[in-house]
Amino acid sequence: MKIDRWTRRATLLLATLTVLLSGCTSYVTSQVTAFSDWSGNDATRTYAFTRAGDQQNNLELTTYERLVGNELATHAFRQVDKSQARYLVGLSYGIRSDMVTVAQPVYYNPWPAPYWGRPFDPWGPWGAFPTAYVNQSYPIFTHLLGVRITERASGKEVYNVTARNSDEESSLVRAMPYLARSALADFPLGNGVVHTVKLPVDKNGGASNEVATTGPAPAAAPASAPGAKVVQ
């Protein structure tokens, strides 16, 4: 049976998309900044979370502490009663929204229907020539997590790390697993280290168990988001 040109092109397009999508993995990229005076060892990594007085019954904070606690456990930290802990761990977190404006091209097709698919029109019904640009505005959200570790006996700060990422996700809860993993991915980092952590997303939309990919932050890494709603 002879397949017409349109059918053949559609078949090839679908096959190509199938191959591309089957090997496609999404990632969440976070920027991590650390300040460190860490000298602890595995035998002394006992800790307790510390909170401000008005946060004692904060369920949101409890959820985030659980995520951070899971990551601390991978680095031989053990949660104990506050009176027995060598370290106190405090969290800060927040989210801010901004609008980003992007110029989008408007395409012109010089070969209107019914000539789509002809040999002289390889671009199909979408056209090939941008004749103008239209500004489109999109919301973007910056998520933030800070983890501060102090010695309980002396009050000395020994580790302070911040992770942040930005995307179209408006929920801090959904971003927090990536922030927690990113913040503690290479514990302990050196003092003043800034790098990026790239985490794959699993098929259910959560953080994958695959090993995080880390690297130096870009030279023009974004600064701390001013005006973010931060909870200490």
Q: DSSP secondary structure string, 9-68? A: HHHHHHHHHHHHHHT---EEEEEEEEEE-----GGG-EEEE---GGGTT-HHHHHHHHHH
Highest mean pLDDT among 51-55, 64-68, 106-110, 197-201: 64-68
Please check the confidence at residue 97 and state whether its pLDDT lies above 70. Answer: yes
For 203, phi then psi, to 5°, come to -65, -20
Check whether 230 has a pLDDT greater than 60: no
At residue 225, what is the residue type?
A: A
pLDDT of residue 131: 66
Domain assignment present for residue 7? The answer is: no
**Domain-embedded: residue 33:** yes
Q: Confirm whether 184 is domain-assigned.
A: yes
- Say if residue 68's pLDDT is above 90: yes
Q: Quote the pLDDT of residue 71.
A: 97
Is residue 51 domain-resident? Answer: yes
Sign for the pseudo-dihedral over CA of 193, 195, 200, 205: positive
Percentage with pLDDT > 70 across the chain = 66
Q: How many whole angstroms separate alpha carbon 77 and alpha carbon 48? A: 10
State the pLDDT at residue 112: 56
Scanning the structure block, which residue is given the tokens 């008005």?
A: 54
Taking the CA of residue 175 as centre, how many other CA atoms within 13 Å lie in the half-sphere pointing to its CB? 23
Higher model confidence: residue 28 or residue 114? 28
> With b meaning 16 or more CB within 10 Å and e meaning fewer, what string describes 111-122?
beeeeebeeebe
| Averaged pLDDT score across all residues of the chain | 78
- Alpha-carbon distance of 22 to 191, in angstroms, equals 41
Query: Is 13's pLDDT higher than 80?
Result: no
Residue 173 lies in a domain: yes
Q: Say what the pLDDT of residue 142 is.
A: 96
- Smallest CA-to-CA distance from 224 within 201, 186, 190, 194 is with 194
Q: How many residues does the chain have?
A: 232
- The Cα–Cα gap between 22 and 16 comes to 10
Residue where the block lists tokens 């397009």: 13
| DSSP symbol at 211 | P
Of 43, 120, 53, 52, nearest in space to 76 by CA: 43
8 belongs to a structural domain: no
Give mean pLDDT, residues 24-53: 89
Lowest mean pLDDT among 26-40, 70-84, 141-155, 204-218: 204-218
Residue 4 placed within a domain:
no
Cis peptide before 226 (omega within 30 of 0): no
- Tell me which DSSP letter residue 179 carries: H
Looking at residues 46-60, what average pLDDT do you find? Answer: 92
The whole-number average pLDDT for the span 127-151 is 85
| Residues of the domain holding 48 | 27-231
What's at 142, amino acid-wise? T
Mean pLDDT confidence for 51-78: 94
Q: Does 15 fall in a domain?
A: no
**70-85 average pLDDT score:** 96
- pLDDT band of residue 36 (cuts 50, 70, 90) is very high
Number of domains observed in the structure of the chain? 1
What's this model's pTM, rounded to 2 decimal places? 0.68
The confidence score (pLDDT) of residue 42 equals 77
Cα-Cα-Cα-Cα dihedral of 179, 184, 190, 192, to 10°? Answer: 20
Average pLDDT over residues 66-94: 97
pLDDT, position 34: 98
Give the least confident one: 1-5, 62-66, 128-132, 148-152: 1-5
